[in-house]
Amino acid sequence: MKIESAKLIICSPDRNFVTLKIVTDEGIYGLGDATLNGRELAVASYLTEHVLPCLIGRDPFQIEDIWQYLYRGAYWRRGPVTMSAIAAVDMALWDIKGKALNTPVYNLLGGKSREGVLVYTHANGSDIAEAVDSVQRHAAEGYLAVRAQSGVPGVASSYGVPKSGKPYEPAERGLPSESLWSTEKYLNFVPKLFDAVRKACGEDLHLLHDVHHRLTPIEAARLGKALEPYHLFWMEDPTPAENQEAFRLIREHTVTPIATGEVFNSFWDAHDLIRNQWIDYLRMTIVHGGGITALKKAADFAAVYQVRTGFHGATDLSPVTMAAALHFGLAIHNFGIQEHMPHTKLMDEVFPHAYSFNAGYMYPGDAPGLGVEIDEALAAKYPYQRAYLPIARKLDGTLTDW
């Protein structure tokens, strides 16, 4: 079998997605997600100009060799643009191999280690009452794990707070919007939020919270300690992780479990965090982390240190990445949890898929390959529109981590 052609489908059904389609001379094709939220066309151009011409004529079964060719062969290493492009090729090749062998991708990764993939979803509110209500509604839908975020009095437009009762969706068309931030108000507020949520929802529901890189290590340590009575499943991205050693200080002060990695693009971003056991969950994702091939190695390394996966799964990761993450999560032994922020009805129509949700778990389905299609005619009706993530400023105007 040989790769005959490769093309990109760039569309915006409610939000932007860049999808790679690799077609073989035997008519089998594979799909890969290349979406990098707010920087979509950089990855598209990297693929079109530099990667796709090198694929034609290659054997799509040689996934490892093609990965090394695109990674080492470029000389320039890592970075979100490069790694998302490599990931898209990698996903499409696993999809092709599964279809060619007539088996779901999870079988190529070692087979089922569990029956279903535990997922968590997002609950949001502009205040505590709304957030509690949202957690309860998601629990009633069957979720066993829910992430809770709330507007903080005085910084109501903060991360994770939806506008006009819609699910929270940060990417916005037009130039970046600005939101406000106050660490002091946030730190005083969050324990009250989780006190209310625990009282309303009982002890058994898994609760999660995303700090979104906004605290210094000592502030994060204070938050982790304050949240201990509410036994969170995890505290996410407590501080930026460019300096991996920053997590040592948090770890030394709190037993609240720590998850990080959604902005990582290489195993090396997580190397010290894992080998020092400064984190409990690795949140890298297949699209931004270099594909299934790269993440399998990262997950196997993490397994040695009892670090489990908790892959990123916001709506900016397309259904192709969602499917890849579900096959992956079903197969590996050290799976922890998978984020699930449901796509809109339109996004699901553009990407018909075999995966499903039932009673707190997701299932990749048994279709060969990844089990996702793209309706190209429908996708063509929704052309790309420039969109950005917001930026954040402190109350005095200083730019800070969003």
User: Is 95 or 262 the residue whose CB approaches Mg ion more closely?
Assistant: 262
Residue with tokens 């993440």: 295
Among 219, 262, 269, 280, binds ligand GCO (CB under 6 A): 262
Q: Choose the one of Mg ion, ligand GCO, none that binds residue 33, judging by a C-beta under 5 to 8 angstroms depending on kind.
A: none
* Cα–Cα dist 249/242, whole Å: 15
Looking only at the bridges linking them, the beta strands covering 387-388 and 3-11 are unpaired
Q: Choose the one of Mg ion, ligand GCO, none that binds residue 316, judging by a C-beta under 5 to 8 angstroms depending on kind.
A: ligand GCO
Residues 374-393 touching ligand GCO, rule: CB under 6 A, are 389
Q: Choose the one of Mg ion, ligand GCO, none that binds residue 391, judging by a C-beta under 5 to 8 angstroms depending on kind.
A: none
212 in contact with ligand GCO (CB under 6 A): yes
* Cα–Cα dist 34/340, whole Å: 19
159 is catalytic: yes
Which is the catalytic residue, given 212, 288, 327, 343? 212
| Interface map 285-324 toward ligand GCO (x if CB under 6 A) | ---------------------------x-x-x--------
User: Is 367 or 392 the residue whose CB approaches Mg ion more closely?
Assistant: 392
289 CB-near residues (< 8 Å, 6+ apart): 83, 87, 264, 265, 266, 267, 295, 298
* Cα–Cα dist 204/144, whole Å: 8
* Cα–Cα dist 77/72, whole Å: 7
Nearest Cα residue to 222 out of 197, 198, 239: 239
Length of the chain: 402
53: tokens are 């011409």
Give me the residue whose beta carbon is nearest to Mg ion: 210
Nearest Cα residue to 294 out of 325, 315, 266: 266
User: Is 90 or 339 the residue whose CB approaches ligand GCO more closely?
Assistant: 339
210 in contact with ligand GCO (CB under 6 A): yes
Which is the catalytic residue, given 106, 120, 159, 186? 159
Q: Choose the one of ligand GCO, Mg ion, none that binds residue 37, judging by a C-beta under 5 to 8 angstroms depending on kind.
A: ligand GCO
User: Is 138 or 312 the residue whose CB approaches ligand GCO more closely?
Assistant: 312
| Inter-residue long-range contacts of 341-346, CB under 8 Å, 24+ positions, other chains counted | 341/121, 341/122, 341/167, 341/313, 341/314, 341/315, 342/121, 342/167, 342/315, 343/14, 343/315, 343/319, 344/13, 344/14, 344/315, 346/13, 346/14, 346/382
Cross-strand pairs, 173: 387
Count of residues near ligand GCO by CB under 6 A: 10
253 is catalytic: no
Q: Decide: 31 and 96 in contact? Cβ < 8 Å.
A: no
Among 40, 90, 95, 339, binds ligand GCO (CB under 6 A): 339
User: Is 139 or 392 the residue whose CB approaches ligand GCO more closely?
Assistant: 392
| Interface map 8-47 toward ligand GCO (x if CB under 6 A) | -----------------------------x----------
Site residues (vs Mg ion, CB under 5 A):
210, 262
170 in contact with ligand GCO (CB under 6 A): yes
DSSP 151: P
> Catalytic residue numbers?
159, 212
Q: Which residues bind ligand GCO (CB under 6 A)?
A: 37, 170, 210, 212, 262, 312, 314, 316, 339, 389
